[in-house]
Each structure stands twice: as C-alpha cells, then as structure tokens.
Structure 1
C-alpha cells in the first residue's frame, strides 16, 4: 500500500483532487495534513504531491533513505492546468529515459519553434524562495548573486530577472512577453526552461532539470550557447510522463513509474 500525501496551497481543491486520483491509481490511500504532521508517515512508500512547509520534511526524509520508494507529483511540463507529472525518486524526469508520446504533444498543441540565433537580453528565471529552500536546499538569494556574478563576467547583454510571483500590485507578465527578443534563459530547475526550449530560446541550467538534456552549457558560455538536436523527441518523452486526472485514477501513472 502506498501512502499518498496531499497538502494545502492556493489551489487546494485541485491539490486534493490530484492527490485523490493518485491514491486511487496506486491502490493506496490519502493522508491529510494532521497525519503528516504527526510523523506516522516517516517510513514506507510515499507519494508527495508538491513541496510545501508540511511536505518538505517528508521529502527530505524520503531522499535521505536510500531504500525507501518515493514519488513526486506536480504540475505537468506541458498543459500545466490539466496535466500532472509524476517521477520516481526525483523531482523531475531526467529527459533521457522512457518512451515518447508525440501524439500527446500534438494534442496539447505544443509546437517546437526553430532555434533562435538572436536576442538582446538574458532572462534569469527565479523560483519561489520556499521551493529553493525546501526542495532544492539552496538559498535563492545566494543562487541569484552567484548567477549574476557569472553573467557579469561573461556578457554585456541586459540581464532581466523574472520572479515566480511579483510583489503585490505589480502585474505578472506572461513568460512569452519576457521571452520576446531574449538571447538565453538561465534558471535552476524552473519549468520556464521547458517553455523557453519549446520557443527556441537556449537555456542554461544549474540543477537537475527535465530540460537538462537540451541545456546550452555552462553559464560562462552564455555568448556561445549550444543548441542541441532532438528537441522534438525530448519533448515527446516529457509528454509521455504526465497524465490527466482520469489517467491518474485509472492507474496509468502507477503502471509506468510505480512498483507494479
């Protein structure tokens, strides 16, 4: 039996619906916040839906236990409002392994643009402070300072910093607007990397990201980014590792990345 963890956040109804479907598909059960906080989920197989202050200690414990099966679920790589990604023993798919679903990519309307060879600015995409601290075990401020220092040594282009959530009263610009006339994107593990690659923008990655196979190289090479072949196949592999709620409940995810 798999213990499934749900957590409260700004889309609580959606979160619980996803967690419920994951539990049904795995033949497991749904665990609530009180049970999580009580410590009874400290051992055994666990599916973690998202990283929050409540689930972060469970995630850290699961990662430290070499023999403990764990899975991580979050918004999909594509069609993020309707799809859910699930990976075993890591926060994102590695981008290399498993089958591909070009048909799913087409159904989601994902069109891989040609590689871009121009642009004026470099876009640094931040993730939430909570995610960097609890999931990546990094200081967001230190990471940003490190990236900006490397970029200052490597390029004279304008550097723009995109936050996960802007301060109150400031309109959140669509990513597509920030990618307009963008030379390259730099991020740790944000899904902005996947979206930038689909748009043809080279991406520099500093963490273990689903976008890593298509990364442009070290930040020091910002002026001479690699533009790897195979983005269509890469994207189709990611599309094959995300599911609708109905597919989760039907056990499609469990048959593909679970134990059974």
Structure 2
C-alpha cells in the first residue's frame, strides 16, 4: 500500500511538473510572438527608411554642388543616418532570431561555414591587408547558418578593431574537449582590457563609443548563438596585443 505521505509527495511532484510544462509552453509562445514582432517591426521600419535614403541620394545626384555646402552636408547626414538605422534594424532582427529560432542541428564540417563567412568578408579582408590562417576544424553537430554568422561576427570584429600600426593577423582553430567542441578566434588588434572582457557581450555595448561604426550587437548575437548550441563564449587579452575569443559547443 502506498502511504498517504508518498501520495502527497507524488501529487506535489506532479503539480510541479505541470507548472514547469505550462511555463515552458508560455516561454515558447512568447518567443514565437517576439520573433514575429521583430519581423513585422523590421519590415515596417525598413520601408520608410529606404524611401528616405533613396530620395536623399536622388537629391544629392540632382542638386549636389548646385546648392550651398550646408545643403550638401545635410543631405549626407540624412543618407548616413538612414544607413546606420538600416544596419541597426538588421542587427536587432538577427539578435531576436538568434534567441528565438529553432536550431536545425546537423553534422557539418565546421570549416564550411567558416569558409562561407570568410568569402563574404573577402572585400574587408583584402582592404585591410589582413592575414587569416585556419587550423584544425572538426566535424560538429550544429546549425550551419548560425555557425556561419558566429564566425562572420568574430572575424568582422577582429577586422573592425584592428590596430593602426600593424597588419591584422587572425587565426581560427577548433578541436574537441571533454565538454564538447572548443574554438578560438585570435587577433592582434587593439585588444580588450581584462575588466571589459565580459561587458563586450552585452547588447549595445560599445567600448570605443562611436569612433568605430557598429551597433553594439555583434558579440551579443554571438553569445545567443553559442548558448543556443549549449556552449559558452568568453574573451581573453592576448600577449603582446590583441584578443582571443573562445567558444564551446555541446556534442
């Protein structure tokens, strides 16, 4: 016979499981609504921005040099502001997707999304004169599109924050450890103070203010992607200069 105490404990456990399931269902519903909201807002904001940018560019072509210098400068500010807003909207949408979208796990050679990311960044790599070296890259279980975005953000970050007095050197490698897969993206750029190595992953965090273009969401998106794959990401200062970004992915 099952004691009354055991029955009570079982009933309490069932209630807790039921409550957890309701919370999980609510979280899934909330995430789906958030992603849908981000799509709608992104579309509704981008259309008027494109119109503003298009008409500003048209005015610059038609009236550039024909008005006074202030008018030319004002039109330039409008065009640049619209471009920055377009970039910000895109990053906000990517940030919401990284946290809400289902991860389509499949066995992939991690060298393939990395190669795709480097191909997209080839103009920036060429312009900066950067040297990019790729070491061992394992086969992993991951969402190829999100891993491509992860590598693209980290390499782009290294190019953006390169040092003015030396050629950018970027190395990427990965391997297996006891907890899963461990990757490192290392550069010889401006570096990050040890006290700021956690803060750089916060949304809209920008250590260099507005001196360098960006929205402050790139590394926050990286963290979302890594966490969706059961891993962690962190940064460490390199000697004598630069930063090493480490991230893990679950098996």
Q: Larger radius of gyration, structure 1 or 2?
A: 2
- Structure number having the greater helix percentage: 2
Identify whether the pair has TM-score above 0.5, normalized to the shorter chain. Answer: no
Name which structure has the greater RCO, CA cutoff 8 Å, separation 6+: 1
Could you state the TM-score of these two structures normalised by the residue count of structure 2?
A: 0.30
Could you state the TM-score of these two structures normalised by the residue count of structure 1?
A: 0.29
